[in-house]
Amino acid sequence: SYAIDNQATVNKLLPQLQDSNILGTIQSLSGYQNRFYTTSHGVNASNWIASQWKQLAGSRSDVTVEQFSHASWPQKSVILTIKGTDNAAETLVLGGHLDSTVGNGTGENSRAPGADDDASGVASLTEVARVLLASNYQPRRTIKFMAYAAEEVGLRGSSDIAKRFKQQQVKVVGALQLDMTNYQGDAQDIFLFTDYTNAAQNTFLANLAKAYLPNLKVGYSQCGYACSDHASWHAQGYPASFPFESSFDKSNPYIHSSSDTLASSGNQARHALKFSQLALAYAVELGSDGP
Ligand SMILES: N[C@H](Cc1ccc(I)cc1)C(=O)NO
Ligand SMILES: [Zn+2]
Ligand SMILES: [Zn+2]
């Protein structure tokens, strides 16, 4: 259910989210020459995320980190799983994509920093995972953090995973996509996209923002096409949502170029922090529901 009834836990954890950590992760990821799905750098970036998430997991027996191999390209997706306690069959997915591009012709030596698209989303998610694990939060449902490969070439990594989950009949009760969280192109803070998403879950996210982030302004927008990995989950019939950094017409003009750098996003991660806050509230409120 979309009840908001975990105020004690959420309000204890929200202040632990730090934009300085998000900034550091964006710096590291945008430092790779590129993170394109077929290059050595793209493979290395995936391995780096896996090692970072393994460090977060520490020795917790209910936490695993794996790399999901894709048949037709070398870059793997990364999945961190926090196994639920008494409702582990029901699963939450929080994702972003780890690959980057400068469009057609991207290759081994292309410079594609992808600071906003989508190092920012992976960094926002990593900070949520860090706080949940550092506070020893134990969800009743299973929570999966995912860093997808090959989003820029047709949502291919998330499509492989969502299809596998459907085929295995995994009960995904909700999927949240963070793709571009750090470039504030508009007056409003968070835009909920209404196409290729689930209306009821979008309303829940708006209510979470009202309840926990009352100073943030929430707007609505559309892509007009399957513009990020939420569409892969939506296509399999799972409830998906996509909170985005700006409205469609004010979106980051630097993406898919060598200028998609932290500097182009104002050398800060305060905007990305808002998405970590919303994602944490989402993870705890939905993750704490019993069978
Ligand atoms: N097309 C998406 C980015 C994207 C998504 C929504 C909007 I509005 C503008 C741009 C992409 O490149 N994802 O990697
Ligand atoms: Zn993207
Ligand atoms: Zn992109």
Q: What is the tens place of the pLDDT at every residue in 185-202?
A: 999 999 999 999 999 999
Nearest CA to ligand 1 atom 2: 227
Residue 1 has pLDDT above 80, yes or no: no
At 172 the pLDDT is 98
Please state, as a whole number, how many other Cβ atoms lie within 10 Å of the Cβ of residue 223: 18
Structure letter (DSSP) for residue 76: P
Atom number, ligand 1, closest to the C-alpha of residue 228:
13
Residues with CB under 6 A from ligand 1: 117-118, 151-152, 179, 223, 227-228, 244, 248, 251, 255
Q: 149-162, pLDDT tens digit by residue?
A: 999 999 999 999 99
Record the pTM.
Answer: 0.98
Q: Which residues pair with 244 in a beta bridge?
A: 191
Q: Which residues pair with 175 in a beta bridge?
A: 93, 240
List 19, 116, 117, 285, catalytic entry:
117
**Catalytic annotation on 97?**
yes
At 32 the pLDDT is 99
**Catalytic annotation on 189?**
no
At 256 the pLDDT is 98
Residues 127 and 288: their CA atoms lie apart, in Å, by 19
List 99, 116, 127, 151, catalytic entry:
151
For tokens 């409702």, the residue is: 87
**Catalytic annotation on 86?**
no
CA of 227 to the centre of ligand 1 (A): 5
Hey, is 100 helix, strand or coil?
coil
Nearest CA to ligand 1 atom 12: 152
